[in-house]
Amino acid sequence: MTYTAPTAEQRFVLDTIADLPGLAVLPGFDGATPDMVDAILGEAAKLSANDFAPLNGPGDKAGARLANDVVTLPPGFADAYARYVEGGWAGLGAKPVFGGQGLPFVVACAVQEQLTSANMAFSLCMMLSQGAIEALQGHASLELQETYLTRLITGEWTGTMNLTEPQAGSDVGALRTRATVHADGTYRLEGSKIYITWGEHDCAANIVHLVLARLPDAPPGTKGLSLFLAPKFLPDANGDFTVRNDLRAVGLERKLGIHASPTCTMAFGEHDQCIAFLVGAEGGGMRGMFTMMNHARINVGLQGVAIAERSYQGALAFARDRVQSAKFGAGGAPVRIIEHADVRRMLMTMKATTEAARALTYFTAAAVDRAHAANEAANDAVPDAAAAGRADLLTPVTKAWCTDSGVEMASLGIQVFGGMGFVEETGAAQHLRDARIAPIYEGTNGIQALDLVGRKLGMDGGAHWRTLFAEIRQDIRDLPPRGDLAMLKPYLDDALAALESATVWLTGNRDAAALTDTAAGATPYLRMFGITVGGWLLARQAVAASERIARGEGDAAFLRAKIVTARFFAEQIVPQATALLGPVTRGADLLFAIPEAGLAA
């Protein structure tokens, strides 16, 4: 199955939702001119279609292999990675002072979306490296930045993120990997990590591992964690990186999907010689890791978008070709399945949900850009609190709602294919298998929902959700009184009212028993949030489309489809958000009403 990057759609969302023209005038983003962004999306589309997509199926079948401490990817991966490096793609969003192109994160996201649609397993290599770049830009010493960050930005080397240990998954504070300081100021690491994405591979000359570990006498929990950089290769006397560090991949997971992404068990310091460097301050590990994780959480949300888009493209192509059954009630000759109302329903659900999820992801990424630009301008003194707060609020929603949507749309894609989707031949099954990890890693979606209700809603006294809801309400009021756009109003109004009631209820629960009720409602609440904001952002696009049609600008068919898609989402999906008010606010009683032993009966 081929992949064609949806560049016109991406461009439209960048303009109307991320407000790219507004971003391009902020400090540091002057390179994001319309021509430049068009050229970037066009070139990335070629890389993803020609180099990444053809490796998706073969990578799934062959997977990565570990032998003698070396992980080998299937033929073609190392060459495709070399082309990614040649094209300068690794440094797109990185700071120019270290050799990056300084483009907005949201533009880098649009490129990452294409690479992920084309080949999710492979794109994880780039995603983890981007996270390492963010962490080192924000927290490493100049010396580490000059040595390691610059080579991550060229793409010569790749990066990893090492948190998880067998007893420390969601509870990162339980990790045990130890670090000790040496007289020369370097550190030694000892311990092992599991599930490390692209922890070892043969595509790049060196791998920069960012590792969370605990110093002796560090306090328990996350406060006692520090962040370290441990390279696979260290410099020799000539400064060439030829000396193997005391770390290696000792195992490779067999798993449901993303077979071409090596998921490694890593051993650090088997011979007490794993040399590492401190990133940031001792005990400041979570700060650095959060920089990396927040970035990665938006990029994982983007994986949901990307896999939904890829699934949709496959399902649409199949539905236009497959002939089966006469139309309902019409009799006569069999028709292509795209003519059946139920298949159209599935395709429209996929199209609308994918576009809503993309809009949410780009909207959140643009908020990150606004917060960063303000930081740059003020020399880190006065961050744009509103933009930063919005990014904080929306990051768990983006991560969880978009990845849940990715799984649901990949499953619906299989349904469109019928039996051909369940067998491996068409590639539709691979999308579902690949999509399934995204709700789990980078903090499970359950943890995202708890982060939303437990931390994000309460930030700055609830200012961020209040501002967001006020903006949504104003946009709904501003919809015209008649026509297609007016028909969005009642659905969005109802969902917003339900979301606001749920928010007030959740944030009002304060004692221990009530907090269990809040935790019980967290996941359906996050879904409500995602659907409502998704519906609002599609409405924004519909308004922008209608204005362009009125001015006679752009591709009229594309713009008209935007209005229809917003209406479909409002009428068919948004009522699900309204209906979730009950489930969110029912509390935890029934969850615990059957004693644990009774659950097994």
Q: Which is nearer to ligand FAD, 252 or 337 (CB)?
A: 252
Q: Which is nearer to ligand FAD, 254 or 510 (CB)?
A: 254
CA distance 59 to 371: 38
The piece of 79-87, 191-199, 360-368, 489-497 that touches ligand FAD (CB under 6 A) is 191-199
Q: Is 435 in the site for ligand FAD (CB under 6 A)?
A: no
Q: Which is nearer to ligand FAD, 94 or 161 (CB)?
A: 161
Q: Is 20 in the site for ligand FAD (CB under 6 A)?
A: no
Among 197, 245, 294, 578, binds ligand FAD (CB under 6 A): 197
The piece of 90-98, 194-202, 468-476, 569-577 that touches ligand FAD (CB under 6 A) is 194-202
Among 195, 268, 401, 465, binds ligand FAD (CB under 6 A): 195
Which H or E run includes 234? strand 233-235
Decide: helix, strand or coil at residue 67: strand
Q: Is 374 in the site for ligand FAD (CB under 6 A)?
A: no
Q: Is 529 in the site for ligand FAD (CB under 6 A)?
A: no
User: Nearest-CA neighbor of 492 among 428, 382, 420, 575?
Assistant: 575
The piece of 423-431, 439-447, 484-492, 558-566 that touches ligand FAD (CB under 6 A) is 439-447
Size, binding site for ligand FAD by CB under 6 A: 19
Catalytic one of 355, 442, 500, 547: 442
Q: Which is nearer to ligand FAD, 55 or 437 (CB)?
A: 437
How many CB atoms within 10 Å of residue 539? Answer: 27
Q: Is 196 in the site for ligand FAD (CB under 6 A)?
A: yes
CA distance 180 to 272: 10
Cβ(193)–Cβ(163) below 8 Å: yes
Q: Is 337 in the site for ligand FAD (CB under 6 A)?
A: no
Which H or E run includes 428? helix 428-435
Q: Is 578 in the site for ligand FAD (CB under 6 A)?
A: no
Q: Which is nearer to ligand FAD, 40 or 279 (CB)?
A: 279
Q: How many helices (H) and strands (E) in the chain?
A: 22, 12
Rounded to a whole number of angstroms, the distance between the first and last alpha carbons of the chain is 46
Residues 6+ away with beta carbon under 8 Å from 161: 128, 131, 132, 196, 197, 210, 289, 292, 293, 296
Q: Which is nearer to ligand FAD, 17 or 400 (CB)?
A: 400
Cβ(430)–Cβ(60) below 8 Å: yes
CA distance 95 to 86: 18
355 is catalytic: no
Decide: helix, strand or coil at residue 465: helix
CA distance 364 to 464: 13
Q: Which is nearer to ligand FAD, 211 or 319 (CB)?
A: 211
CB of 342 to ligand FAD, least distance (A): 33
Interface of this chain with ligand FAD, residues 206 to 265, rule: CB under 6 A = 255, 263
- DSSP assignment of 561-572 equals HHHHHHHHIIII
The piece of 83-91, 160-168, 465-473, 554-562 that touches ligand FAD (CB under 6 A) is 160-168
CA distance 185 to 174: 26
Give me the residues paired with residue 206 across strands. Answer: 157
Q: Which residue is nearest to ligand FAD (CB)?
A: 169
Among 63, 169, 231, 389, binds ligand FAD (CB under 6 A): 169
CA distance 575 to 26: 38
Among 401, 441, 529, 536, binds ligand FAD (CB under 6 A): 441
Interaction site with ligand FAD (CB under 6 A): 161-164, 169-170, 195-197, 255, 263, 437, 440-441, 443-444, 446-447, 450
Q: Which residues are catalytic?
A: 442
